[in-house]
Structure 1
Amino acid sequence: MSSVLERFLRYVQIDTQSDPNSETFPSTAKQRNLSNLLAEELRALGVADAHVDDHGYVYATIPSNSDRKDIPVICFCSHVDTSPDVTGENVKPIVHRNWDGSDIILPDDHSQVLRIGELHDLDQQIGNDIVTASGSTLLGADNKAGVAEIMAAAEYLLANPQIKHGDIKILFTPDEEVGRGTENVDLQKLGADFGYTVDGEAIGTLEDETFSADGVKITIHGVSTHPGYAIGKLENALKIAAEILARLPKDTLSPETTQDKEGFIHPVQMEGIQEKAVLSFIIRDFTVAGLHEKEAFLKGIMEEVLKAYPNSSGEFKVQEQYRNMKEVLDQHPEVIKNALTAMERVGLNPIQRSIRGGTDGSRLSYMGLPCPNIFAGEHAFHSKLEWVSVQDMEKAVEVIVELATVWEEK
């Protein structure tokens, strides 16, 4: 299973950053560079049907080698794109062998430092091999760690036919980071009964609950005029938008002030001129009712601000993004039970928990493919301090292989 590190180091050097403002699919053509490579490598391993479709998805099948005919078809899924939040161009991965617990100062920007006490779970990695970027980019462990782990597990299963399993489907998706990862996936073509995204954080974690998520776009139409003759006429859309932002609570309802099962309202982009301004938000909560409450609160702020600008108007548009997958997964307890069994068999103490985020599995579950999220080992994602442990990646490969055998047995 040693191929996981070599694969990971290659994959992260391929820029696959997605673009939330693009109207194409995938949102960036460069994502196909990795997708094409993965399909080629799978075919080289003997996966005859591996291919990239017109939308940039990689589909592949590892055929069953079991005499049993009643084994559910399972799928392992990861996404090839990286976050738009930090550049993914010219990633230079660094392996810090046998890390002794001291500060890891990244060479391209000495202000970027990995320290115990500041980064969650880092204190559990002393003696392990830590992979980081160089300080000027993200690493791309989200989700190329998962991609590399699925690829390494596929290689291992194909090289060890004595390990019995049913049909295994592989799905690599684009555009997960911009909320469009499953937009054009063909589940009939995929042909799986159950799935697992490999896109989680700490070793041993199994996530069966996610946020429910919406996007909100507020468009302000102000009144523009020459600033030299604007008295009593000008209603600056940029200032109106700024007032809306200023009225958001300072001590609650934001990512920086919430935790556990608390949701938030998060502005992610502002653009415009004095005539028109657009504010983009993401809304998160573990219940749909909670989403609606937050959206009503935000709309109320917009309407209250606009009262002072009688000649201006606002549009408030909500776009559903994904829903909490727990409602689906609770109807298929075997999906969770088998994953927990696989983790225990490879020596882990599994941790079942919620994720303050979403995965492709959120949408896949509601599309008809129950799909919890298992750990990939990625940490501090969407930042220049992103890191992953080689040993955690290797253990994830073991879990994927073992999970295939659990389904064959049961």
Structure 2
Amino acid sequence: MLDIAGDLSRWIDEGREFAVATVVGVSGSAPRAPGAALAVDSDGEAVGSVSGGCVEGAVYDLCRQAMKDGEPLVERFGYSDEDAFTVGLTCGGIIDILVTPVSADRSVPMAALSAVVRGEPAALARVARGPSGLLGSALLVRPDGSWEGGLGGPAELDRTAAGEARALLEAGRTGTVEFSEDGSRCPGGLTLLVESNVPPPRMIIFGAIDFAAALVRVGKLIGYHVTVCDARPVFATRARFPEADEIVVDWPHRYLRSTETDGRTVLCVLTHDAKFDVPLLTEALRLPVAYTGAMGSRRTHADRDRHLREAGLTDRDLSRLRSPIGLDLGARTSEETALSIAAEIIATRRGGTGASLTGSGTPIHRDGGTIS
């Protein structure tokens, strides 16, 4: 439900009561990952989506019913010959939906929504499968491991749930974990959905060139906080990159050494100039970031590879470099090239092959248990 926090926070401010349907489990090919939500208020207004359209009508009705009954419920939707075109998933997958009524007495979900709106890192953990008395009960977990709320079981259950939620929050992931009702880590008795709210991952683009302007736009579109860095102040300007979150005038390797990166950060080196590339990549390929790509022809790459080896990088270091950058889409324009780079970043993040789905036999929707 945190993916529609802005709308739900507005509803709370307006005094509306509502119910939220959240995807808590996915099997096979399904259009939305755990954490995706649809909410319906007492006047029948709806926001969000749990399936891209397949089962929205049925979930809408469940939300209305949950508001009437005042109790949470779980419903499974899957494919069958009888219901595939009524309330079934025509894509062939299975999704489990947790529907929870939200009112003024449910302080934990409200506190979680407020944290998201304020931009604070937090994890909302809710019981998605278990005894009816625990279903929908929630904890709000902070980065320091503190929490508010409770799951309604023994104290050990809350401690275990808070620990699992904190681990997912630190990784910037949304997903499910299983353990027993007494709080031990034996799977089977209880399933917890943990939704993590963390700052967006960083995309740092080095080289204030025309390709960078297009990549800024695409990077924003796919959810990154985008920084453009170039040592040349005449090129690294707000006028040229109005959509960038940050513009930095500095030598790329010096900036990379001083700025914060993590396991979700992507680095796009578009300078294709050895005096910038070699010191920058010498730093970049030793960092535990998600992706490092460098623009240039195959000849440029071969020369760069030689210089990087001379700088002391190993085969293992160099194996992490995506160069020439991007997937082979036959791109020509700046915009097409930006799409090819973004496609490679997504494939790397999600474990995709980059191959055409037509005739490939590979899953369309991969493991939906994580959201980076």
Which TM-score band applies after superposition, normalised by the shorter structure? under 0.3
* Structure possessing the higher relative contact order (Cα contacts under 8 Å, 6 or more residues apart): 1
